[in-house]
Structure 1
Amino acid sequence: MALIVQKYGGTSVGNIERIQNVANKVAKFVDDGHQVVVAVSAMSGETNRLTAMAHEIQARPIKREMDVLLTTGEQVTIALLSMALQEKGYPAISYTGWQVPIKTDAVHSKARIEEIDSEKIFGQLNQGKVVVVAGFQGVTPDGDITTLGRGGSDTTAVALAAALNADECQIYTDVDGVYTTDPRVVPQAKRLDHITFEEMLEMASLGAKVLQIRSVEFASKYNVPLRVLSSLQDGGGTLITSEENFKENEMEKPLISGIAFSRDEAKLMILGVPDKPGVAYQILGPISDANIEIDMIIQNQGIDGTTDFTFTIARGDLPVALDLLKSTANKLGAREVLSDDTIVKISMVGVGMKSHSGIASQMFKTLADNDINIQMIGTTEIKISVVIDEQYLELAVQSLHEAFELDK
């Protein structure tokens, strides 16, 4: 018998038929002798509906009251799912975040979980019940209701699994696992049977939207095995776990686990900057002070006592960042400021890179063979990223996927 925490998102519980489908899935695990805790989101569209109602009343609703309002969405779902299980003959009980309680800090709309009291849940599990918990929400020490921000239900599920020392945390979505790349770009993309936390964190940060980074970070910190599955079809999904949990022979096989890409990229260049200590801070400091996240950075030293500085940011931040950089250029006496919002970043991720050489050269050769120019390069121990012109995104991803035989 295993203790399993399952999470179902908004599309999985989007209507009564789908809620009953979820109940059937949960029932199968109970029939197999497992204890099950279920975390659920609000029904798809409900959070948007509630938000729109709030904005009809207040242009800028108070965050505390928005948390009180939005958490009602999950409260509806937990009650309906519990009823569906009960109707099928499976004892079930629902809890909101504050009833568990899931204790958080007091940052409304993006609270962080600090502690989960597991006594009540264990008490119900020991009575043979399925425990259905509202995702995305918690309670402050003062008793105020909070929400956890984007990806909050995933985080709730992983936190519950950690607190309960569960055998596995299963995240049910509208896809059946993690793929070698986006199947919409490469139809031959394959579902991965397993992937490490480290690889999943890289892929999530680079544009893969299967899981929120926050939930993967939580799972990695507490070593909670995660499995991504489809709520609409059967299958084994993708297991995400620590590198140590893989067998050695399995770890030797894949050099590259996947290719991630991000279209949300822009590049800024400041040319002819005096080459002296502190210039990098003078350039990037104002950008960071404006809460604009900087990604890749390249600095080229010239022979005339000047340097060129290039960095990437999110495309939506370009107008503000460009104004700041022009102001900095005037102060530094730089020659020119250029920008480009027609770039994309493509990244190859794999723990196999740690022990194998030649991956970067093969990647660069593949792009060169397709007449794709590389504008910037960045690497980590398990990742190689390149910036290219966005018009070559599909060709680059498809070519790299084939070159590294990810379709095999």
Structure 2
Amino acid sequence: MALIVQKYGGTSVGTVERIQAVAEKIAGFRARGDQVVVVVSAMSGETNRLIALANDMTDTPDPREMDVLVSTGEQVTIALLSMALHKLGLDARSYTGMQVRVLTDSTHTKARIEHIDDHNMRADLDAGRVVVVAGFQGVDAQGRITTLGRGGSDTTAVALAAALKADECQIYTDVDGVYTTDPRVVDNARRLNTITFEEMLEMASQGSKVLQIRAVEFAGKYGVPLRVLHSFQEGPGTLITVDDEVDMEKPVISGIAFTRDEAKIIVRGAPDTPGIAYKILGPVGAANIEVDMIVQNVGKDGAADFTFTVHRNDFKRAQQVLHDAAEELGNPEIIGDDKIAKVSLVGVGMRSHAGVASKMFQALADEGINIEMISTSEIKVSVVIAEKYLELAVRALHSAFELDHPVAS
């Protein structure tokens, strides 16, 4: 008998029929004797509908009331799924985040989990019940409803699995695992049997949308075995695990992540003096704009060129912040480009294999693709290129590193 925490996203519970199908899947696990805790999202489109209602009411919805509003979506799903389980003859009990007492800090719309009270869940599991919990939500010390931000149901599931010391946390989605890259871009992208927490974290942060970053961080921190599976197709999925459980014959590169949501800003001709990087990025950070890649070059006559990337949604605001600070920066030229993309190679094998970056650069050069910026870490090499070459670059790299070839067993 195993204790399993399962999470089903919005598309998996998007209709009454799909909720019934999820109930039947859960019944299969109960039939073999497993204890099951289920975390669900709101039905697909419901959270967006609620946000639209709030925006129709006011241009600046109060964050506390937004949390009260959007948390109702998951409450509908937990009730319907529990009803579907009852119909199949299974004892089930639903809980909101407040009822389980998923205790969070008080940061509305993007709260962080601090503690989970597992007493009621354990009592229900011992009594043979399926426990159905609303994802994405919790409660702060003052009893106010909070939400965890987009994708927060993944984090809820991993946190419950950690609290309960579950044997496995299973994330059910509309894909059957983690792939070497997006199959919509590379037809022969291959599903990975395993990937490390480190690699998955890099893949998620560099553009892969399969799992929420905070959920992967949580799983890695608490050692929760995490598996990505398809909601309605049978298969082993992808197991996300720790480094020492990875096959020694694992390829150097596990996958290619990419994002189209990048923009680049160049501050040209800034004074090359101590503190100039802070003078440029300080106001950007104060405006709550996240900076990704950074390159500084010393130019002529005591001047420097400073280049950094931001999310495309923050591009115009970041430019305005720098224009407002231009006098303090010595009135440099400020140039922008929001037609760039970032491509990243990810793999723990880079630690023990040289030449990954040079092979990447050669593959891109062979396709006539110019590299505008480079960033590296122990297990990642990222480049910024013109957005129009993104799909060509991903396909060329996927082929160059033979990611379409099955791993030898």
TM range (shorter): over 0.9
* Counterparts of residues 268-287 of structure 1 (less than 5 Å): 268-287=265-284
When residues 34 and 351 of structure 1 are mapped into structure 2, their CA distance, relative to the original with a 3 A threshold, is same
Deviation, structure 1 residue 335: 5.1
When residues 325 and 210 of structure 1 are mapped into structure 2, their CA distance, relative to the original with a 3 A threshold, is same
Deviation, structure 1 residue 384: 0.2
1:98 aligns with 2:60: no
Structure 2 residue runs without a partner (length 5+): none
Alpha carbons 1:270, 1:329 under 8 Å: kept: no
User: 2:397 is aligned with what amino acid?
Assistant: L
* Counterparts of residues 3-402 of structure 1 (less than 5 Å): 3-246=3-246, 250-334=247-331, 336-402=333-399
SS of the aligned residue for 1:178 comes to coil
C-alpha separation between the residues in 1 aligned to 2:169 and 2:313? Answer: 34
Alpha carbons 1:177, 1:192 under 8 Å: kept: yes
C-alpha separation between the residues in 2 aligned to 1:288 and 1:29? Answer: 48
In the alignment of these two chains, the number of paired residues is 405
C-alpha separation between the residues in 2 aligned to 1:331 and 1:60? Answer: 33
C-alpha separation between the residues in 1 aligned to 2:10 and 2:219? Answer: 21
Alpha carbons 1:259, 1:397 under 8 Å: kept: yes
When residues 47 and 242 of structure 1 are mapped into structure 2, their CA distance, relative to the original with a 3 A threshold, is same
C-alpha separation between the residues in 2 aligned to 1:20 and 1:335? Answer: 61
Alpha carbons 1:271, 1:334 under 8 Å: kept: no
C-alpha separation between the residues in 1 aligned to 2:354 and 2:322? Answer: 38
Structure 1 residue runs without a partner (length 5+): none
C-alpha separation between the residues in 2 aligned to 1:52 and 1:297? Answer: 36
Seq. identity, %? 67
Deviation, structure 1 residue 243: 1.1
Q: More displaced, 38-47 or 105-114?
A: 105-114
SS of the aligned residue for 1:131 comes to strand
Q: Provide the TM-score with structure 1 as the length reference.
A: 0.96
Cα distance per residue 1:132-190 (max 9 Å; x no partner):
11111112222222222111111110110000000100000111111111111111111
Q: Kindly report the root-mean-square deviation, in angstroms, between the aligned alpha carbons of the 2 structures.
A: 1.5
C-alpha separation between the residues in 2 aligned to 1:47 and 1:365? Answer: 45
Alpha carbons 1:262, 1:346 under 8 Å: kept: yes
1:407 aligns with 2:408: no
Cα distance per residue 1:225-249 (max 9 Å; x no partner):
1111111211111111111232xxx
Deviation, structure 1 residue 300: 1.4
C-alpha separation between the residues in 2 aligned to 1:9 and 1:349? Answer: 26
When residues 331 and 115 of structure 1 are mapped into structure 2, their CA distance, relative to the original with a 3 A threshold, is closer
Q: More displaced, 69-78 or 387-396?
A: 69-78
C-alpha separation between the residues in 1 aligned to 2:358 and 2:3? Answer: 46
Q: Provide the TM-score with structure 2 as the length reference.
A: 0.95
SS of the aligned residue for 2:98 comes to coil
SS of the aligned residue for 1:339 comes to strand
C-alpha separation between the residues in 1 aligned to 2:75 and 2:317? Answer: 40
Alpha carbons 1:201, 1:213 under 8 Å: kept: yes
Alpha carbons 1:252, 1:352 under 8 Å: kept: no
Alpha carbons 1:268, 1:340 under 8 Å: kept: yes
Q: More displaced, 50-59 or 339-348?
A: 50-59
